[in-house]
Amino acid sequence: MQTKILLEEDEMPKQWYNMQADLPTPLDPVYSARTGKPATPDDFSAIFPMELIKQEVSTKRYIDIPEEVADILRLWRPSPLFRAHRLEKHLKTPAKIYYKWEGVSAAGSHKPNTAIPQTYYNMKEGVERIATETGAGQWGSSLAFATSIFDMECTVYMVRTSYDQKPYRKVMMKTWGAECLSSPTTQTESGRAMLEKDPDTPGSLGIAISEAVEDAATHDNTNYALGSVLNHVCLHQTIVGQETQKQLESVEETADVIIGCVGGGSNFAGLAFPFIHDKLNGKNPDLEVIAVEPTACPTLTKGLFAYDYGDVAGLTPLMKMFTLGHDFVPPAIHAGGLRYHGDSPIVSQLYEDGIIGARSCHQNEVFEAAVTFAKAEGLIVAPEAAHAVRVAIDVALECRQTGEEKTIVFNNTGHGHFDMSSYEAYFAGSLVDYEYPAELIKDSLTRLPKVAQ
């Protein structure tokens, strides 16, 4: 009975898989916030290195991983795939449950998979400093780790509610030499504007993105890095799904259901995109793919497929995506990494085309699933990853009712060792199950930008 499935170092993928090559419906163009016209490389060159701009628009199916990047990724990759035998037994399900464990990275999550290449490409172009935002702190700590490796400076704007809830994430960043600020700050125009509007705001990823983009655009030695949403970020994460495919093949298994939590969409994309390729090319046509999001921030399940900014201040280009409105500030749930108003354009297009499905969950049921998982499998997972755990358990219980022997695979994106205050709140019964904030979202959607197509 095999529980842990490993790959050798030389089996780590040598290329990233680009979902853009196989989209049934090509992505709509990105529009410049500055000109209102389709964006050109010049619209991105002030904050991104050229190699990432090329990856953002590429439709080449496979893109080589530089050896310098691969050498660092091998510090924790290939990551293990586990069969959750004890969880299956506890649930009395005929289903098989596998999870890809990304908590083995230095920062404890999947985020370094893209932090390393993004920092590498910036370093190659002589950039000295990177500014970014972070929700729960997984991305900020990952970028701090990456910039320490390449001897670069790093400034992280951390969403205020997570800055307060997860103090040890900012200690991680400081340990790796990064500056971590509670967003919104008084150091940027966009931060000051938000504080003037609402001094008690819990912050949001949209606000923090505005601050980081403004920082990068106003300093010649600084570029911006994003931990999710954009095409090149999803591209870098596909190393997760490609490894998982090899691991399943080694035990002669085929996935029936793929599950991942979704905030901006990068970890979901990382696991799902290589499997969606198999679904589209006929190799696994009946595959079910499920994106899981918080009920308090239900971007796919309740949002609108429309052009919107990626940030509150409207500094980013306009992208076609499922959105709740760029100035929507989600309730202060403990899954800080999922509190984003929009989604990856590629994930959004796949959902619009019916290739993937989506479910939303309240945070109490999510933590209930996380505790069940911890008791069965031993791992205490991050609140974000626990959303995938919740739906994996739900699908397994559905199989118990139907008798189906499905193979369920989910991306276990990282550990919850710095989320103990969240677990403490759950055990104390003080977690609030925020209802879908329909009126707030309706109001926010009235302010979507207009695009002349």
Question: Which segments within 40-134 are labelled E, that is strand?
Answer: 62-64, 81-83, 96-101, 129-134
- Sorted by sequence, the CB contacts under 8 Å of residue 226 that are 6+ apart come out as 132, 133, 209, 233
| Total domains, the chain | 1
Residue 338 is predicted with a pLDDT of 81
- Asked whether 387 and 337 are in contact (CB, 8 A), the reply is no
pLDDT digits (tens, 9 = 90+) for 47-72: 999 999 999 999 999 999 999 999 99
Distance CA 184, CA 348 (A): 28
By C-alpha distance, which of 40, 228, 54 is closest to 124? 54
Domain carrying residue 345? 4-8+67-108+231-441
315 domain-assigned = yes
The answer to whether position 325 is within a domain reads: yes
CA distance 66 to 401: 47
- Are 257 and 408 within 8 A, CB to CB? yes
Distances (CA, A) of 135 to 310, 386, 440, 442: 14, 16, 21, 24
Q: Domain for residue 432, yes or no? A: yes
Which CATH number is 356's domain given? 3.40.50.1100
Average model confidence (pLDDT) for the chain? 94
In a domain? residue 344: yes
Nearest to 53 by CA among 194, 197, 235, 216: 235
pLDDT digits (tens, 9 = 90+) for 4-33: 999 999 999 999 999 999 999 999 999 998
Distance CA 145, CA 159 (A): 19
- CA 369, 370, 372, 377 torsion-angle sign: positive
pLDDT, position 109? 97
> Does some domain include residue 272?
yes
Cβ partners under 8 Å of residue 257, min gap 6: 287, 288, 289, 290, 395, 406, 407, 408, 409
In a domain, 452, yes or no: no
In angstroms, the first-to-last Cα distance of the chain is 57
pLDDT along the chain (453 residues), means of 10: 92 98 97 88 90 96 98 98 98 98 97 98 98 91 98 96 88 97 95 93 88 93 94 98 98 98 96 98 98 95 93 85 89 73 96 98 97 98 96 98 98 95 94 83 85 71
Residue 182 lies in a domain: no
Q: Tell me if 96 is assigned to some domain.
A: yes
pLDDT of residue 335: 66
